[in-house]
A and B are shown apart, each in its own frame.
Chain A
Amino acid sequence: MTAIVPILELLSCLGYGAAFLRLFGRGFAPVGTLGLAMAFVIGLGVLGWLMFFVGAAGLFQDPWLWAVLLAGLAGLPLLAPSWRDVAWERPDATGMLLLALLTIVFVLDGLEALAPPADADSLAYHFAVPRQFIRAGALEFIYRSPDGAIPYLLQMGYVPALALGGERALTAWTGVTGWIAVGAVYAFARPYLSRNWALALALVFATLPVVLYGAGTGQVETRLALFAVVSAWAAGKAVEGGDARYAALAGAVAGFYAGSKYLGLLYLVAIGACLLFHRRRFAFGALFSVFAAFAGFQWYAWNAIHTGDPVFPMLFQWLGRENLIQWPLTHDRYFQLFLEGDRPLERNPFNLILYPFLATLHAPPETEAKLIGLGPFGLLVLPFAVLGAWRIRDRIRPGVLWSFVVAAGIFYVLWFFTGSSQRVRHLLPVAPLLLIAMTVAAERLTRNSGMRRPLLVAFAATVAIQLAGAGLVGMKFVRHVASGDDREGFLQRYVSYYAPVPWINANLKTSDRLLIGERQLFYFLNVPFLFASPFAQGEIDLRPEQTDPSRLLADLCAARITHILLRQDASGTYAAMPAMVALARGPALVRVQEFAVRVVGLKTLPGTVSEARMDMLRLVGCRG
């Protein structure tokens, strides 16, 4: 099943996408590689969209999941023209070299797909939430932010992989979809670039630090790039040729983006703005809006039903239910402070321009751009691209490449000024748009010119630097396979604070509830839990300012907590939670186990590992 399920899901997505495209009429969709890429991307959205309703109906059981996947296969015959049109030409020496380098990256990514999941965000929610839904057999509302109550359209695609094929099918699925993003960069660049240039660009994309970091994990940004590219392409076709069907398609696919991440709402605005450049802007806008709302509304409705706020908790202070035990208004005000910490740069026009340079050359730690950035390519190619665009400025008309640049630009400006987290990886979905447009402009500028050689060196330098990074990142997966290390060994080595997990699953019952501060352990837990974060949850007041142990005890009892897993600090206590320190001195908390744990700074760099200790406490002070 491990191999069958990802392949079946891949074919199912292709079938669903082909069927969706056929709704727009025969001959509407492109054929060949581009047609296949589009069908998959749209099918990925359709599958995630369907899975919401399957889960909301409480049908996350194997027979229903098989049925959803198998139903998609019915659309496969519609792809026959695309298969027939895929051209295979023998590559020249440069093409062979590029394919060889892509193969190296592909093998390293394949080894990652074979390894157990170890990325913190994936273990906290991208994988943990689908697992929770599968165990419940239905969708559940998670009163947690910013990684609980969010749009999950893409993660709905993880549900059949995990439920039917197990963990390895899940990691294989993320590996497959990550590589389809690389293939999509090639496919959407190919109409404007020669095969070798498109291959080189695909190699640059495949080895971007942020892609190396996230493509093989449950993180959604690499997969969101698929939605971003297809919707921008459709918007470009709409304004170029005036065919309203493309506006509808752009709306549907941008809606899938919005259904997968809140930032997709900004992308909807960006794509909608592109459509305004055509004289049929009102018709385009209406179609775009209807399709976008249909494709992306469900998770916002899900939030509104449970909290009153469709974009929970961003508008909670105005729209939220006042009597919500899991997210009180007083807690919501505290949560807003947490968001401020993710924005190191003040939001002003100067920083808007400065940010990309800063993120490339001297990134503030909050942006995570030094290790999870967009690489040197944009900086190296910038003057070529700007000069290339300037040279052809009189011939620039609304179309696909134009739409790529406008959509990416508007998204960036909105992202920067609306107060989103300034982590650079949130820009990854629009990165292929700029990579393609910049490369086309630079390639045109340097054609038959002495500037060709510096441009080629810029590509070579980027690939060399990024391939070195890929090798470094891939080494732990090579070691894992070479050493024959088992799953537990890998997790003990690469997941911080993992040591208590086997004990928890062996000793706690499903009637217990664990308060746990390590979000990267959620995926592994077989017992109910609550995240011990002062920001992310509102059931228990864990703010450092809260020093009253009796109030803490009342909160813990009300939340039905039975056990608490805490890190020891240097003094052997829990100084970040003064009320907990006071409570632990009394009889209400009993230490039942102590663990020696590994703390992994950077999984790629063994020199960043340290040791620590954790305590498992049992709560005995609740009455009744």
Chain B
Amino acid sequence: MSEPARESRTGGVRSEDALGIVGAWIWIVIATAAYLWQYRDMTGLILGALGFGV
């Protein structure tokens, strides 16, 4: 599958690709944090299971 060229003639990254890359990073960070956030109430239990009496 061929992709359109991403390098501009000046050697920089095209603006729409840059937007996609930044958006992807933001998505990864927020989604990972949101996923982990639901386990915040289990921190003590998990540390306990690992042998750290909490």
Contact = CB atoms under 8 A, between A and B. Distances in A.
Interface of A: 360-363, 370, 376, 379-380, 383-384, 387, 392, 444, 447-451, 454-455, 457-458, 461, 465, 472, 475, 602, 604-608
Contacts of A605: 42, 45-46, 48-49
A370 B25 CA distance: 25
Contacts of A360: 35
A461 B38 contact: no
13 contacts: A370-B39, A376-B31, A376-B35, A380-B32, A383-B23, A387-B20, A447-B1, A447-B3, A449-B3, A450-B20, A450-B21, A455-B24, A606-B49
B3 A448 contact: yes
Interface in B35-52: 35-39, 42, 44-46, 48-50
Contact of A606 (B21, B28, B31, B48): B48
Contact of A380 (B20, B28, B48): B28
A363 B25 contact: no
Contacts of B46: 472, 605
Contact of A451 (B24, B34, B37, B44): B24
Contacts of B28: 380, 454, 457-458, 461
A221 B47 CA distance: 30
A166 B21 CA distance: 55
Contacts of A361: 34-35, 37-38
B1 A444 contact: yes
Given A376-B32, A383-B27, A604-B49, 13 more contacts: A360-B35, A361-B37, A379-B31, A380-B28, A383-B24, A444-B1, A447-B3, A448-B3, A449-B17, A450-B13, A451-B17, A454-B24, A461-B28
Interface centre among B24, B36, B39, B49 (most CB of A within 10 A): B24
A387 B20 CA distance: 10
Interface centre among A362, A383, A444, A602 (most CB of B within 10 A): A383
A219 to B, nearest CB: 22
A454 B28 CA distance: 7
Contacts of A602: 45
A29 B53 CA distance: 56
A444 B1 CA distance: 7
Interface residues of B, number: 28
Given A392-B1, A450-B17, A384 B24 contact: yes
Given A376-B31, A380-B32, A447-B1, A607 B44 contact: yes
Contact of B38 (A370, A387, A454, A472): A370
Contacts of B49: 472, 475, 604-607
Contacts of B6: 448-450
Nearest to B53: A607
A195 B25 CA distance: 25
Contacts of B25: 454, 457
Contacts of A444: 1
A472 B36 CA distance: 15
A574 B32 CA distance: 45
A362 B32 contact: no
A608 B45 contact: yes
B39 to A, nearest CB: 8
A53 to B, nearest CB: 46
A166 to B, nearest CB: 30
Contacts of B38: 361-363, 370
Contacts of B44: 607
A465 B48 contact: no
Contacts of B37: 361
A477 to B, nearest CB: 13
Contacts of A454: 21, 24-25, 27-28
A380 B32 CA distance: 7
A498 B22 CA distance: 54
A117 B11 CA distance: 61
Contacts of A362: 38
B36 to A, nearest CB: 7
A379 B35 contact: yes
A187 to B, nearest CB: 23
Nearest to B42: A605
A475 B6 CA distance: 47
Interface centre among B28, B42, B49, B50 (most CB of A within 10 A): B28
A448 B49 CA distance: 43
A454 B38 CA distance: 23
Contacts of B17: 449-451
A475 to B, nearest CB: 7
Nearest to A384: B24
Contacts of B50: 472, 475
